[in-house]
């Protein structure tokens, strides 16, 4: 008599919840958004604000992308700048269901600040969450003739709050510049009345701040001493300080100068007429003698004869703009590696780097999720 074959039941492996959480925390945002439909518990976990903060702290230097507006369409485009500029799969357009923005003002912790004519908008391109903000009282008062020339967007870690900062001045009156900020946690604008600034715009256009060391930085012209300086606004102290520029005569030798952040350092991209662009890095924060010219980028091979530094890739290449809607990638010696245009427009659009995150805003009740 033959014995029947004994069938072995497969054991269901159940991972501990804590282990699942630790695995999910290390996944990219794109994967996590897909995994929200696995189960109700996963949806609840991935949607949790504490999970989002823990994920950001672990992968804060994770997937970073470039964002800019194609003005002729118009559409917002997101680009993986670590991939080849000629890789079509590294670039995609983002569909928006709110009034189309006219300008990108800045980014912070994966959130992007947009100017949409009648209002400002804080938006997470990765998740679609956004919040609409009113323009400031000073900027909205047409009779006051105050023009905003410094914009900034940053995060106050001491209060877990995001701030939109604006500095305005009246070019026809001999009065100090006025400073105000919008707190997303308080959902209100506030003017800093005890600060008297003598700054004016250092160029013909508005300046959008560079975020570093819990402070927003701008290039500005100090009217009382007639010189260009770097102005820093401390987001926690709500105070201003100045940082010296390198010992270079910017007015005589250069016609273009922009302030950016390279890695963990302030940097300047400066250029003269028909001459290469130079990238200077402040190796020690607020120490003038630490300014060092690190890279020289020839502009002969760039059709517009223009280069403005934006960011660096994981392998050390330098990515910049041609002043319109083209991107330029150079190696760490300034030699051109790639050049790519993204639309047939000649209008310059601010290009910002943002990190893909799940982070939302501190006042969640007024957030709106974009339709898929």
User: Cα–Cα–Cα angle for 230, 211, 46, nearest 5°?
Assistant: 175
For the cut 50, the answer to whether the pLDDT of residue 365 exceeds it is no
pLDDT for the residue numbered 300: 86
- Model confidence at 371, pLDDT cuts 50, 70, 90, reads very low
CA distance 371 to 298: 44
Please list the residues that pair with 121 across neighbouring strands: 114, 132
Q: How far is CA 59 from CA 130, 185, 316, in A?
A: 22, 24, 19
Give the predicted TM-score (pTM) of the model: 0.87
CA distance 108 to 353: 9
Which of residues 365 and 353 earns the better pLDDT score?
353
Average pLDDT, the chain: 84
- Alpha helices by DSSP H, the chain: 17-24, 29-35, 40-47, 49-58, 137-140, 250-253
Please list the residues that pair with 308 across neighbouring strands: 321
Per-residue model confidence as pLDDT tens digits over 101-117: 678 899 999 999 998 87
Beta strands (DSSP E) in 157-226 are 161-169, 177-183, 188-197, 199-200, 207-208, 210-212, 215-222
The half-sphere exposure of 151 on its side-chain side, counting CA atoms within 13 A, is 20
- Model confidence at 24, pLDDT cuts 50, 70, 90, reads very high
CA distance 342 to 77: 9
Name every residue whose Cβ is closer than 8 Å to that of residue 359 and which is 6 or more positions away in sequence. 52, 53, 56, 109, 110, 111, 124
For the cut 50, the answer to whether the pLDDT of residue 351 exceeds it is yes
The DSSP annotation for 111-129 comes to EEEEEETTEEEEE-TTT--
pLDDT for the residue numbered 364: 47
For the cut 80, the answer to whether the pLDDT of residue 348 exceeds it is no
Which of residues 226 and 165 earns the better pLDDT score?
165
Per-residue model confidence as pLDDT tens digits over 249-265: 665 555 678 899 998 99
pLDDT for the residue numbered 289: 94
CA distance 214 to 221: 22
The half-sphere exposure of 40 on its side-chain side, counting CA atoms within 13 A, is 0
Q: Count of CB atoms within 10 A of residue 255's CB?
A: 13
């Amino acid at each position: 008599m033959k014995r029947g074959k004994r069938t072995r039941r497969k054991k269901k492996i159940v991972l501990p919840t804590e282990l699942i959480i630790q695995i999910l925390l290390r996944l990219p945002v794109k994967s996590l958004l897909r995994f929200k439909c696995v189960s109700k518990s996963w949806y609840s976990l991935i949607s949790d604000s504490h999970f989002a903060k823990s994920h950001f702290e672990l992968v804060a230097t994770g997937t970073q992308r470039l964002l800019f507006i194609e003005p002729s369409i118009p559409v917002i485009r997101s680009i993986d700048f670590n991939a080849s500029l000629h890789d079509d799969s590294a670039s995609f357009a983002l569909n928006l269901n709110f009034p189309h923005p006219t300008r990108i003002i800045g980014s912070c912790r994966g959130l992007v600040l947009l100017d949409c004519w009648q209002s400002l908008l804080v938006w997470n391109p990765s998740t679609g969450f956004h919040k609409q903000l009113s323009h400031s009282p000073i900027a909205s008062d047409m009779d006051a003739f105050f023009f905003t020339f410094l914009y900034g967007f940053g995060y106050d870690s001491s209060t877990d709050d995001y701030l939109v900062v604006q500095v305005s001045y009246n070019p026809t009156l001999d009065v100090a510049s006025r400073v105000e900020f919008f707190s997303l946690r308080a959902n209100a604008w506030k003017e800093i009345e005890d600060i008297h600034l003598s700054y004016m715009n250092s160029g013909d256009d508005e300046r959008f701040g560079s975020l570093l060391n819990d402070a927003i930085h701008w290039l500005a012209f100090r009217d009382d001493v007639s010189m260009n300086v770097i102005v820093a606004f401390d987001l926690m102290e709500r105070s201003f300080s100045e940082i010296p520029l390198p010992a270079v005569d910017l007015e005589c030798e250069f016609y273009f100068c922009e302030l950016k952040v390279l890695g963990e350092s302030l940097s300047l991209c400066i250029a003269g007429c028909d001459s290469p662009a130079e990238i200077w890095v402040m190796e020690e924060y607020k120490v003038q003698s630490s300014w060092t010219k690190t890279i020289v980028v020839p502009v002969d091979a760039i059709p517009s004869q223009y280069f403005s530094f934006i960011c660096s890739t994981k392998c050390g290449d330098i990515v910049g703009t041609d002043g319109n809607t083209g991107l330029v990638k150079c190696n760490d010696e300034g030699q051109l590696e790639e050049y790519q245009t993204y639309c047939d427009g000649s209008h310059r659009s601010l290009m910002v780097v943002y990190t893909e995150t799940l982070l939302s805003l501190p006042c969640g009740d007024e957030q709106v999720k974009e339709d898929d």
